[in-house]
Amino acid sequence: MKKLMLGTIVAIVPFGVINAKSFIKVETIDGAISILNNDSVKNITYEKAGKKGGVDVSGNSNSYDFVDLGLDDGTLWATCNVGATKPYEIGDYFAWGETEPKSEYTADNYKWVERVDGTLKYTKYNNDRSLGTFDAKFTLYPEDNAAYVNMGENWTMPSAREWIALSNACEWTWMDNYQGSGISGVLGTSKYNNNTIFLPAGGEIDDTKNPDLCSAGYFMEPSLEYTQIPHAAQFSKTRELTRGANGRRFTGRNVRAILNTDAVKDSSFFMVVNYKNGENVYFDSKDVKEVSIIKEHNEEIDGVTVTVNFGKNAYVDLGLPSGLKWATSNLGASNPKEVGSYFSWGETCAKDTFMRDNYKFFKDTQKGTFYTKYTYPVPEGMEKWVSWYDEKGNFIGDSLCILEHIDDAAYMNWGSNWRIPTIEEMNELIENCEWSLCYNADSSEVIGFEGKSIINNNKIYLPVSGYGYQGGKEWKSLGVYTTSSLNKDSAHEFFAALIGQAYKQDSMGHLTYLDSMEYKKRIMSRNSGFPIRPVYIDK
């Protein structure tokens, strides 16, 4: 073990004697801050590089891990996608030349086009005078490179040559459920030093649709081809990692970064925060500026109260009787006002089409249709096809009525401190807040519901969402959210929380806006798609 010799480090041991209502704040030299629950931490140690999330880690730069695969050119690859914190997380999607993720990826909202006389014209990176502003630029400038902007100046997107070198350097294996995450992808094992790298199958997004999610992966390159087309690296279950996936500039794809090797110094040791449950959080020892103990505090950000900010995710303490903390944003959203992603009940990958046939736990056989998990014995007189019964009518199902961690999208995407709330927990949230409708800028449309705690006045915001049904979104006037609770009376349904209805529509199509929210428990089909508002669990 190597001890960290930094004069700015303050008393980090022993943690157990410090008040449990406190947090460990880790600040790195580049200003990044991580907040860790002190009561959950066992100790802090210093270790050599090793494995994290099932893949090898050789070092860390700007708080991002990299792996050395022994490539001839010395290229070092990030272990996670841009926007992800674990190797199996899909991370963010970017249009070519954009540096921020979006909820939709269309030609009209692409950053580098403008509409001229009804025709879209390029405003940057164009080598054809007939297609817009001519600048003969083929390769992204640093300010338009998603890896550089999001991870720091030492990181960039890999070129076609570097993707080909990676493909040739590894033996690739398709993984259906990598590390129990529910995420598919390919695991590469270096032919030179046996170090590993994992690429999740994030698919690609056109408009809001992502048909290849969990079945194929597409990774962006920084240069255009001789035409206006950006190529990408790609793989699928039947095709090993290769290069040459054509696409449109506005299509949303993942980014996996590489590191400028000149920036790497001594990155062979990590400061490791060891949790009591056996999990670990790693920091490169040379990047750590200060470790300190802080108390919970409240500040208002984007119109909601933030009690503890973990960087990308945050929670608010509303003083609820149970002590439960609520996330300030939906799963898949970048701020409290966005709806985020839609998930079928028990699925951990977001999707756009919600059919019984593409539901994870549904099976159609010659003997009939049934669910393969979360099968609860239904009351007499109810349909038994939804559960497991033998030929004599005896129940042989699993009797599970609350989502397990492996099927909890919040737990799998945000980490083990987060999960989907139960219907009882959703009831507690609603009953302990005063709610009001929130309108858009011109007051013509309700876009969400603001809750103010009757206990401590802290605020939470839940956007109007609707839900995914078959090929689109239905009842967009509703604020309806997933819970982890199965409806025991009808095991093919679960309890959703209908937070409120923004407006009602009569048979003539006329809208009547409501001046108050109406909360009720609603029974919904398991294969429909709903947004998720996670809750935070102190370990």
Is pLDDT of 59 > 70? yes
Q: Are 79 and 65 in contact (CB under 8 A)?
A: yes
Q: How much is the pLDDT for 200?
A: 96
Cβ atoms within 10 Å of 238's Cβ, excluding its own: 8
Give the pLDDT confidence score for residue 79 in this predicted structure. 95
pLDDT band of residue 479 (cuts 50, 70, 90) is confident
Residues 6+ apart with CB under 8 A from 41: 15, 24, 273, 274, 275, 276
Question: Residue 505 — very low, low, confident or very high, per pLDDT cuts 50/70/90?
Answer: very low
Cα(382)–Cα(155) distance, integer angstroms: 58
According to the model, what pLDDT value does residue 51 have? 78
More confident: 504 or 421: 421
Higher-scoring residue by pLDDT: 29, 173? 173
Is the pLDDT higher at 299 or at 390?
299
Before 321, cis peptide (omega within 30)?
A: no
- Closest by CA position to 30, among listed 116, 193, 142, 153: 153
Confidence of residue 238 (pLDDT cuts 50, 70, 90): confident
Highest mean pLDDT among 119-133, 232-246, 292-306, 431-445: 119-133
For residue 504, what pLDDT is reported? 47
Mean pLDDT of 338-342: 89
In DSSP notation, 353-414 reads: -B-STT-TTEEEETTEEEESS---PPPTTS-STTS-B-TTS-B-S----B--GGG-HHHHHH
pLDDT reported for residue 264: 64
pLDDT value at 173 more than 70: yes
Q: Is the pLDDT of residue 523 over 50?
A: yes
Cα–Cα nearest to 61, from 150, 149, 162, 151: 151
Q: Across residues 487-507, what is the average pLDDT?
A: 60
Higher pLDDT, 446 or 155: 155
Q: What are phi and psi for residue 426, nearest 5 degrees?
A: -65, -40
Alpha helices in 91-142 (DSSP H): none
The confidence band for 471, taking pLDDT boundaries of 50, 70 and 90, is low
**Spatial separation of the C-alpha atoms in residues 183 and 345, rounded to whole Å:** 16
Report the C-alpha gap between 299 and 305 in whole angstroms.
6
Q: How many CB atoms lie within 10 A of CB 379?
A: 8
The CA-based dihedral angle spanning residues 371, 377, 378, 381, taken in that order and rounded to the nearest 10 degrees: 110
pLDDT score at 242: 83
Is pLDDT of 513 > 50?
Answer: no
Query: Has residue 33 got a pLDDT over 80?
Result: no
Predicted confidence at residue 254, as pLDDT, reads 97
How do 529-530 and 503-505 pair as beta strands?
unpaired
Q: Is 124 helix (H, G, I), strand (E, B) or coil?
A: coil
Q: Does the structure show a pLDDT above 50 at 363?
A: yes
Residue 11: pLDDT band (50, 70, 90) is very low
- CA–CA gap between residue 250 and residue 134 (Å, rounded): 19
Q: Which of 283, 320, 303 is nearest to 36 (CA)?
A: 283
Q: Rounded mean pLDDT of the chain?
A: 80
Do residues 60 and 68 lie in contact, with contact meaning Cβ atoms separated by under 8 Å? no
Q: What is the DSSP letter of 146?
A: H
Q: Which residues contact 283 (CB under 8 A, 6 or more apart)?
A: 26, 28, 34, 60, 63, 270, 271, 272, 273
pLDDT at 174 over 60: yes
Whole-number Å distance between alpha carbons of 504 and 487: 27
The DSSP code sequence of 265-322 is -S--EEEEEEETTS-EEEEEGGGEEEEEEEE---EEETTEEESEE-SS-EEE----TT
The sign one gets for the Cα dihedral 89, 93, 99, 101 is: negative
Q: The pTM is what?
A: 0.54
Looking at residue 13, its pLDDT comes to: 35
Where residue 283 falls among pLDDT bands split at 50, 70, 90?
A: confident
- Tell me what percent of the residues of the chain surpass a pLDDT of 70: 79
Q: In the predicted model, what is the mean pLDDT of residues 48-70?
A: 81
pLDDT digit string, tens, across residues 176-227: 989 888 899 999 999 988 889 999 999 999 998 999 999 999 999 998 875 6
Q: Which amino acid makes up residue 165? A: A
